[in-house]
Structure 1
Amino acid sequence: MFILHCNLKVIISGMLAVLVSGFSATLLAQDSPDFPEPALPTHICARLVPHQVYSSGDDTQRLQSAIDNCPRGEALQLLAGRFFSGPLTMKSGVTLWISHGAMLAANPDPRVYDKNGRCGTLDHKGNGCRPFILFRNTDGGGIIGEGIIDGQGGELMKGENESWWQLARRAQTEGRAQNVPRLVEIDDGSHILFHGITLRNSPGFHVTLKNVQGAIFWGVRIDTPANARNTDGIDPISSQNILIAHSFIRTGDDNVAIKAGAGGPTRHVLLVDNHFYWGHGMSIGSETVGGISDIRVRDLTLDGTTSGLRIKSDNSRGGLVSDIRYENVCLRGNRRPLDFDTRYDVHASGSNIPVYRDISLSHISGETGQLVLRGYDAVHSLHFVLDGVYFSNAARWLIESAQLRIGPGGVSPVPPGEAPLQQSVVAADCAKNWSPFPVTDMPSVK
């Protein structure tokens, strides 16, 4: 059974009660770690149909006008077909409902996202573009529905001979930063709901949350090619009370990355019953300077991610990462199924030393690969509990500056320096947990 610390459970349960109260959902008992699925909105402020011909016009103005004029607590519904838009700004309490068969496609013209004349170019900062959809200082609302938001990251930028993704790859080879839009950015928001929506082909990160107090991602699908650089799935940054549940994520970078920068700590994040495919794994970091704590990950599959369970930081951006619990996790096809490293960038310099403490792994099963537990030094060592952790005999440990405690479920293979086990470690039955990625149908062009 997955055990939530009382503080985490009460806070997230309270957050959920507030968040879904407008969606006619009721909470389960306070001692249950499960949550009810949010219901669809009952009040629709407007229903929009697409242009009869996809190429006939840009929908930005009418979409933004409809959002601005939608009353708080109601939803703007996009009906089946294709909508084409530049950047949109959401309003407090307004939900964007993208129906089954509807697609909202992002304009690939860098000029419509431009902040400082740099969008669609390379420089050494990479912050020259507005996001496609922005929530700023909003309370309530979100994005729901069985439709698609497509960032068109693989399409040629208007007026250029390369796509957003090709620009990002060129930035890597030239040692510079790409100026590309994120798909969704939530800044200083609260009580945000994403439900059922497919987010795909973002030019950059798919969803970032910065200084957010309360958000739910339920049944979300994030789908981007493995070679699309810097296309993280969901990144909570300096945020609190976040639930990610029953979602499917494959990306060209971190599937989920929990971060904490100078803006403050990230705390009380719960991931339940999620499936990750290609990508860089279930990550914490690399920015941890603000402190990260009270993270719970349970019932997760990592099917082909390069890293599996991962905490990454270094002395240029380190901080305290503590009270992290992983339980009931199945891994296969990973190069580093466990990747807990305080020297993420070996060339980094600074005095912000990463410290990972009070971290437990329970009922974890995988195949082969490198199992990395690397603390910074003897003074700043890792503190881990391993209980029922099973990998094949071909897996290899890389352990430096780490203090381990082995639980009654044992560990296999036995880490170097640990006493041989007196009992066999039982691998989890992961066969029943693997699930193919549920691809969302693309609406036809009229």
Structure 2
Amino acid sequence: MMSCPKLRNPNVFGVIFLVVLLGSIGVKVAEGRVTRGNDQHEYPAINCRKHIAYLTDFGAVGDGKTSNTKAFEYAIRNLSQYANDGGALLVVPPGKWLTGSFNLTSHFTLFLQNHAVILGSQDESEWPSFPALPSYGKGRDATDGRFSSLIFGTNLTDVVITGFNGTIDGQGSYWWNKFHKDELKLTRPYLIEIMFSNQIQISNLTLINSPSWFVHPIYSSDIIIHGLNIIAPIDSPNTDGINPDSCTNVKIEDCQITSGDDCVAIKSGWDDYGIKFGMPSQHIVIRRLKCISPDSAMIALGSEMSGGIKDVRIEDLTAINTQSAVRIKTAVGRGAYVKDIFVRGMNLQTMKYVFWMTGSYGSHPDPNFNPKALPNITGINYSNVIAENVTYSARLDGISNDPFTDICISNVTIHTVGKKLQWNCTDIQGVTSNVVPKPCELLPEKEEKFSCPFPDDKLPIESVELKTCYFRSVSYF
């Protein structure tokens, strides 16, 4: 039988006061629970919380075998009543906490302590099904909708998912095997998905083995993603690291990603569905990203970009054994635009391509896509790049009668292997400065050296300062 929850205000200590306080709202406190006054934990967050509870207060068992789906649901449902009273913090203590999909609430923090592991269930009955996303129209793996993500939220405000490097393990091999065998009737779950929400922080965690994409904020704004260590086998299918999708005002910093797909992919909907939905991804800053992905990009723009992508600022990147650096992927039928993209400071080691743009990325939700929906790719800027052990410097393929324009590349040194044709360019237009080896004729080098532009102003998300928050550990006697 599930035990009753216990909740605390961290500024109030003493079992007697807690019993009176929580008893007044019909919630009981287990006998013998006390705070350890010297064991205070500090963490940064967009907002601190007045109330605190532990997952074990709601009957959870951290043995890696017992399902805790109902315990997570029960905990968050109870804590949601404090949304307008300073919010609530749910602490996941050390242990292995098996669970299916569960939903978050507003003004809420999910905190994973060190050695806490949330394990994704491999029982499909613990994963609710949803219709396809409106800007996609159809599921990516299957047409009959999609599974909910492991950690999910919609129409929320002020949500924090953080910890002391706790782990969220999607146990993705079950789903990867079904994908490879073409046994899926619904699109695989993501690890974390927040939609139609604002004020989101996801930070200081290790995420491993997602069934598909790891972190997917969509139709949301004011997002901080910081200090994530994301790991999946390099041959795992579609395990993108961080995918802001039709999102505005996003900051991604200090993340390390090893995956079987793009480390970061900025998206905004798929063909006619994305065009109709019409919500761009914009005002995004990405800094200090480290990536390993032998078959994909460090950062991809697209290919689903039919709501548009603009004003993306990317700097201080490191890629090792990765197929390409910052890649643009689009196709006839996508419509919309990718514009005002600024990249500076890339240190690349063992790459197939340094620069790669694709105008024929031919994955479509419907075969009857609109051939007149041509994307506008313009204002793409790269500067200050050092690359070692490179197979090809660039493959830049625009679209016939729809060239990619205003491409700027400056201050680039690429050390290549072999004597292959280094620059392969079609249907593009732009300029270069101080680039070795010599670029293609469609990117002439100006006599007077210059640096490609990078904005001087700050995005609103860069001015958000995290607060220093505290909570105290508890013990039982």
Matches of 2:143 and 2:114, distance apart in 1 = 38
Which residue does the alignment assign to 1:380?
A: 403
Which residue does the alignment assign to 2:9?
A: none
In 2 relative to 1, CA 411–89 (structure 1 residues): closer, same or farther, beyond 3 Å?
Answer: same
The answer to whether the 8 A contact 1:375-1:402 is kept is yes
Matches of 1:75 and 1:352, distance apart in 2 = 47
SS at match of 1:260: coil
Which residue does the alignment assign to 1:357?
A: 378
In 2 relative to 1, CA 419–177 (structure 1 residues): closer, same or farther, beyond 3 Å?
Answer: same
Which residue does the alignment assign to 1:151?
A: 170
Residue 90 of structure 1 pairs with residue 108 of structure 2 = no
Which residue does the alignment assign to 1:412?
A: 436
The answer to whether the 8 A contact 1:285-1:313 is kept is yes
Residue 225 of structure 1 pairs with residue 233 of structure 2 = yes
**Cα displacement string for residues 36-80 of structure 1 (whole angstroms, at most 9, x for unaligned residues):** 96478464520234526433x221112211112222333100111
**Cα displacement string for residues 160-196 of structure 1 (whole angstroms, at most 9, x for unaligned residues):** xxx211112233xx9x876321111111010000110
Question: 4+ runs of 1 displaced by more than 6 Å?
Answer: 420-425
> What does 1:195-234 correspond to in 2, within 5 Å?
195-234=203-242
Residue 169 of structure 1 pairs with residue 180 of structure 2 = yes
The answer to whether the 8 A contact 1:167-1:178 is kept is no
2:353 to 336, 347, 351: 336
| Equivalent position amino acid for 1:336 in 2 | Y
Residue 274 of structure 1 pairs with residue 289 of structure 2 = yes
Matches of 2:189 and 2:235, distance apart in 1 = 17
Matches of 1:117 and 1:311, distance apart in 2 = 28
Matches of 1:52 and 1:117, distance apart in 2 = 32
SS at match of 2:317: strand
For structure 1, the 5+ residue unaligned runs are: 1-35, 155-162, 426-446
SS at match of 1:391: strand
**Cα displacement string for residues 404-426 of structure 1 (whole angstroms, at most 9, x for unaligned residues):** 2123xx1111112266787999x
Matches of 1:236 and 1:108, distance apart in 2 = 26
SS at match of 1:179: coil
Q: What is the deviation of 1:300?
A: 0.7
Instruction: Tell me which of the two structures has the higher relative contact order, counting C-alpha pairs closer than 8 angstroms and 6 or more residues apart.
Output: 2
1:311 to 328, 345, 355: 328
Matches of 1:318 and 1:304, distance apart in 2 = 32
Q: What is the deviation of 1:365?
A: 1.6
Residue 389 of structure 1 pairs with residue 412 of structure 2 = yes
The answer to whether the 8 A contact 2:241-2:262 is kept is yes
Residue 243 of structure 1 pairs with residue 251 of structure 2 = yes
Q: What is the deviation of 1:137?
A: 0.4
Which shifted more, 416-425 or 256-265? 416-425
Task: Output the TM-score relative to the length of structure 2.
Answer: 0.73
SS at match of 2:252: strand
Q: What is the deviation of 1:124?
A: 3.9
Q: What is the deviation of 1:133?
A: 1.1
Which shifted more, 338-347 or 138-147? 338-347
Which residue does the alignment assign to 1:33?
A: none
The answer to whether the 8 A contact 2:147-2:186 is kept is no
In 2 relative to 1, CA 376–152 (structure 1 residues): closer, same or farther, beyond 3 Å?
Answer: same
Q: What is the deviation of 1:278?
A: 2.0
The CA RMSD measured in Å over matched residues stands at 2.9
SS at match of 1:67: helix
The answer to whether the 8 A contact 1:276-1:302 is kept is yes
The answer to whether the 8 A contact 2:63-2:95 is kept is no
Matches of 2:185 and 2:352, distance apart in 1 = 27
Matches of 2:379 and 2:245, distance apart in 1 = 21
Q: What is the deviation of 1:378?
A: 4.7
> What does 1:127-146 correspond to in 2, within 5 Å?
127-145=145-163, 146=165
The answer to whether the 8 A contact 1:193-1:216 is kept is yes
For structure 2, the 5+ residue unaligned runs are: 1-42, 133-138, 451-477
> What does 1:93-108 correspond to in 2, within 5 Å?
93-108=107-122
Q: Determine which structure has the larger strand proportion and give its number.
A: 2
Which residue does the alignment assign to 1:324?
A: 341
SS at match of 2:339: strand
Q: What is the deviation of 1:232?
A: 1.1
Q: What is the deviation of 1:382?
A: 2.9
Residue 284 of structure 1 pairs with residue 301 of structure 2 = yes
SS at match of 1:254: coil
Counting aligned pairs with the same residue, the percent is: 27
In 2 relative to 1, CA 133–230 (structure 1 residues): closer, same or farther, beyond 3 Å?
Answer: same
Which residue does the alignment assign to 1:189?
A: 197
In 2 relative to 1, CA 399–97 (structure 1 residues): closer, same or farther, beyond 3 Å?
Answer: same
In 2 relative to 1, CA 195–43 (structure 1 residues): closer, same or farther, beyond 3 Å?
Answer: farther
| Equivalent position amino acid for 2:191 in 1 | L
1:67 to 76, 101, 104: 76
SS at match of 2:177: helix
Matches of 2:186 and 2:423, distance apart in 1 = 36
1:46 to 40, 53, 56: 53
SS at match of 2:179: helix
Q: What is the deviation of 1:364?
A: 1.3
**Cα displacement string for residues 292-328 of structure 1 (whole angstroms, at most 9, x for unaligned residues):** 1000000011111222210101012242111000000
